[in-house]
Chains A and B, each alone.
Chain A
């Protein structure tokens, strides 16, 4: 069946429908990872977004449910050049096409994803629609596209109630604030022996502190950090304690906002598995997994509060902060990987050292 991808600027790209038969409006972003589409689809940070994969052949190895980074896909839609009709891997549970149908995720194939990426690169991230309606009317659709915002997506992506993931049973107690967390964050901690208590995003700081954690972890998550006003307030309280904090992605941005720094929306963000980040403490460069559209404004940092700890080698933007006089460090990229390189997994070790 023919399908159309309509962008906010009036661009219409034609392809064929894959996945669920459903019309969606979403923010269109691109991801340059060559492998790891199941992890991308199930990363809650993509809530409110439809993802264009720049690699042209998607679905080659099907989907292994074990690799899902949450209980379901969060992307609103998937935009690709070619869908493999038959995935092949010993761990494959289901072909990608079926997986999308199963979770009611629509998609479009046959798109010149490179051309689309260039549009997003030139004009910046845009909203768009995937539809199978042959009689679509731009006149009616474009205002709807312009009006779309991802909104308060953290509410949707966070867990419903607090729960515990046991590590060795003898390790440190870590509180993980779930802002839309990828499962490998908790796994990375439990693998290192920690017992992890996962809290819904809107948990009060007092409640977390009452459980007396050894350390606090702020997770990744979707959307505009400035939408998270109430969470920022609670994080501000966490900052005031002496408990070590490690934060990733949205968590990193919220900690910055909670301590007086600012964030801004990037033109088209960083999404992929090949971004070089430099650890300013050692000068070492690591290849990182990334997924963010917003970034902390380094020009507005108060060095008495926080100083840059990592920067992006490509564009010089902020990739991490070290908090002055505090056992707090936060990163914009994803040391938990999945998908992407595991080069910065050592940061979890650094965090655990801080807990001792």
Chain B
């Protein structure tokens, strides 16, 4: 069936800010789909509140609205743009829910707009628990015994009937939010209550627990003619009980015989056919490990995280094909872009093994529970490809960038066999390391299997790796052993540690014996057909397929690895744009990255894609084949920057700012010298290695002080200390990981924080704009609300900032991007941090100013001046629009995480509010971040003594907004004394009603709680904050944020209808 000629203008709904359970994969899917639509001559209107995405670029869509994703905003856009269709299946659950609400209300019908890709009926059948169950029963596909409940009592009754444990799954939530396994009535009540509240429709499914069964997924495609194919299947190493997003996943399945494989495949096709999905769909099964019994766990009638993984694992571009199907094409009419010969109506054949490992945020939330459950906690993931499972696993482990390169890097050797078996009962991200240690201690497979329910095949593979560790430790290293270790992808550094030889010796021995990495193609067809645009992975042994090319200019672009807090999709945005800029200038481009969720790992972004870990050894293997003329590291975040030194050793020139100058910005002494030469002040401070030294410096400076390691991103390990005891505590945390570089101790200055991104060509600089943070210094810039253009600084300060930026950029010989953070106290400007590389704010400032900063930086790196690129150097004229970047957090997903803001970054994503007025921009930003007030007009204020003064002013404003204010004793007193009506409530341990009762009573809009210093998580404040977050109450820990929220609410009435801004036209 050819394309439907009635489709001319399509509104594509994006997925909004990155949160746990909804990450970069939707930028990848959305971008691919938009390009696929434009290829067909369709006019694409895009809406997404997330400015860090590639899909919100003007070259991806014709019109781009970076607006809050609410039904009202979407209705306004539809009224304005009059699209004939809406495509809701590419924006994750958020996009799907919106599409459905628009349809259910009759709005789409009224405006003659068609829902593409799927119908509301299909969505309901797949997503509504009851309808889904009925549908499955109708076609004879088994589901676990279950009941949808709307109150705790019904849930408890049903659980009593089917027996504990039971699984609880709230309807319409992301990443299994609010779900869990309850082993008894008490747990059931706790989880169920929470889940009911989080569900959009107040429904939770109570279900027979099938924990321990194999978890198998199929990615299925179906077109409007009813043709169905499966793209691939995947097997979770962690059985049912751990959310698939938090599981180690392997593709294709390894332990399924063809009978089981085909049984589940047929079931998946049966399901997609009954649901009449047109496009992509993900079906999850639980398969009994000892019989053919299976249950359908879940169906996602849209592209998903798993489909992004499946696309990258197979080379089959699911989002692109889904977009074409939405237009009416059938699978046999859509070309397979990888082979260029075959069609989309086939099933990829893999001739390699793919392993995905989630990137979990426990390094950021050190107080959080590491336990993995049915609620997803990972912020991102890495994927690796190899010809063996052992190799793929080893590659994936080192891709995570968690200072772990092998199975003994988390040390459990002190535990006895029995203790290990006991430890194994804890399902967390370290379990495979515990299993490895148990295997070292000779624990047998079955004992491990009985506890973990991990299939013996996987346990055996871990044993193979452990046996190799032993061999390397005990046997003399000969070429045969080395070859075998490399076949399992042991990095040279690990072999060196095990054998006691040096890394150079290992490498020497490898090269002498011809043990070098070869590259194989991902071609969708296991070499059956010749491939046109394949991508590569490395393995040891066999023929090298990477074609040597000798273009006149070749550039290597290092990607940014897994999405984690502090290093999000902004860096993928920068990497992709840099790649495009180099390609446009005639360079052959080569990308290295390991993140399956990103645009940069799409096969047609660079000329060549290497799906590889970003470590020096892995990159060197690529360099040996590709011999690039240079590498760019300034776009890939800290991951790429860290490779600078190694690349230089390999003889690869670093394009743009040189390595010495990157060092100069990070090396305290060098940097101080530069600042002194430039006459630029900075908060005084010193460098230390030990706690003793740190305390000495702190006392010289006077508390409070800022303690942080150098060379990190997202303020990792950064803390404000007010006492010797805290300095000791923080130093211990930082030094848990051996530090290659000194630790910095600085005087903490409380002032306005200002941020600037600039491009420097060696002589001139271009500053697109100055951004101001709403939260005062001390809150990480990534967690601050950022306002462009800066609102509260005068011309004089702006001039000083521009001047300092130019001086610093020139002194550091920056060629390309630089990001500087300042503190302004009065009219004094201090520099607090300089990063000679791209930053988190680059995508957003590019979009609001209309200056393509990454492209310009790439031009400069290639040797053009700013003037030659068509821009006038200097601080650019301020835009007539105000753009406000609002951080978005995923605290509710991480049990036990401290939510109070500080110098260490905690947000997972961001959204943008853009308008001609500050107030509307602010309102849009809060709206986009999901702050939808007022509802009950009740709030709680509880602040530390130092904040009482400011709290009064804030209280007064909320009172005027009609808020009923509750406060704990001393805050209430302070408010009352100042004439703000406040009702006093008891503290947690006092008699009821307490603060906690109020929050749990679900009638509170907002909690303002400024934490007292220290990290004691048993404190009342911590409990209040956690309870608020877990029950869906907005909780602010910075008075600056609270003030901004008040400002936004004060203007809300006047702005019911938002003004829409097409960013593509700026």
Contact = CB atoms under 8 A, between A and B. Distances in A.
A40 B353 CA distance: 21
Contacts of B262: 337, 339-342
Contacts of A88: 255, 455-457, 460
Contacts of A193: none
Interface in B252-276: 252-262, 265-266, 269
A81 B540 CA distance: 12
Interface string B514-535: 0000001000011111100000
A118 B343 contact: no
B388 A82 contact: yes
B258 A84 contact: no
A314 B460 contact: no
Given A84-B457, A112-B543, A337-B262, A278 B332 contact: yes
A119 B530 CA distance: 11
Given A57-B389, A60-B254, A115-B542, A85 B343 contact: no
B269 to A, nearest CB: 7
Contacts of A39: 258
Given A337-B262, A341-B265, A112 B257 contact: no
B691 to A, nearest CB: 50
A273 interface: yes
Given A88-B460, A114-B351, A283-B330, 15 more contacts: A56-B387, A57-B254, A61-B255, A67-B257, A114-B520, A117-B526, A121-B527, A121-B528, A275-B346, A284-B225, A284-B227, A287-B230, A287-B345, A340-B262, A341-B266
Interface residues of A, number: 54
A293 to B, nearest CB: 14
A115 B229 CA distance: 28
A283 B341 CA distance: 20
A287 B258 contact: no
Contacts of A90: 289-291
Interface hub of A39, A273, A314 (most chain B Cβ within 10 A): A314
Contacts of B541: 110, 112
Interface in B532-550: 541-543, 545
A231 B289 CA distance: 46
Contact of B253 (A35, A112, A286): A35
Given A60-B457, A112-B542, A117-B526, A34 B387 contact: no
A153 B68 CA distance: 69
A35 B387 contact: no
Given A36-B258, A287-B229, A338-B258, A55 B351 contact: yes
Nearest to A40: B258
Contacts of A85: 460, 464
Nearest to A111: B542
B349 A54 contact: yes
A89 interface: yes
A149 interface: no
B526 A114 contact: yes
B812 interface: no
A55 B387 CA distance: 9
B353 A91 contact: no
Interface of A: 30, 32-36, 38-39, 54-57, 60-61, 64, 67, 81-82, 84-91, 110, 112-115, 117-118, 121, 272-276, 278, 283-287, 313-314, 337-343
Contact of A313 (B346, B352, B457, B543): B346
A81 B542 CA distance: 10
A89 B350 CA distance: 21
Nearest to B1: A283
Contact of A89 (B230, B257, B265, B269): B257
B258 A35 contact: yes
B661 interface: no
Contacts of A272: 349, 526, 528
Nearest to B347: A274
Given A86-B457, A314-B346, A56 B527 contact: no
A287 B269 CA distance: 11
Contacts of B291: 90
Nearest to B346: A276
Of all A-B residue pairs in the complex, the 8 with the closest CB atoms, nearest first, are A112-B542, A36-B258, A88-B457, A274-B347, A54-B526, A32-B349, A339-B258, A115-B543
Contact of B527 (A36, A114, A343): A114
A179 B249 CA distance: 42
A310 B530 CA distance: 24
Contacts of B1041: none
Nearest to B543: A115
A172 to B, nearest CB: 25
Contacts of A91: 257
Contact of A276 (B345, B388, B455): B345
Contacts of A89: 255-257, 260
B526 A284 contact: no
A32 B290 CA distance: 27
A67 B542 CA distance: 32
Contacts of B448: none
A55 B232 CA distance: 14
Contact of B349 (A87, A115, A274): A274
Contacts of A38: 257-258
Interface string B215-239: 0000000000111111000000000
A56 B350 CA distance: 9
B526 A313 contact: no
Contacts of B389: 57
Interface hub of B229, B252, B258, B541 (most chain A Cβ within 10 A): B258
A344 to B, nearest CB: 12
27 contacts: A32-B349, A32-B525, A34-B350, A35-B256, A56-B351, A61-B457, A67-B257, A87-B457, A88-B456, A89-B257, A89-B260, A90-B290, A114-B351, A114-B543, A117-B528, A118-B527, A121-B528, A272-B526, A276-B343, A313-B346, A314-B342, A314-B343, A339-B258, A339-B262, A340-B262, A341-B265, A343-B266
A82 B460 CA distance: 14
Interface string B453-472: 00111001000100000000
Contacts of B543: 112, 114-115, 118
B206 to A, nearest CB: 29
B223 to A, nearest CB: 9
A32 to B, nearest CB: 4
B397 interface: no
B457 A340 contact: no
Given A54-B526, A56-B353, A61 B257 contact: yes
Nearest to A39: B258
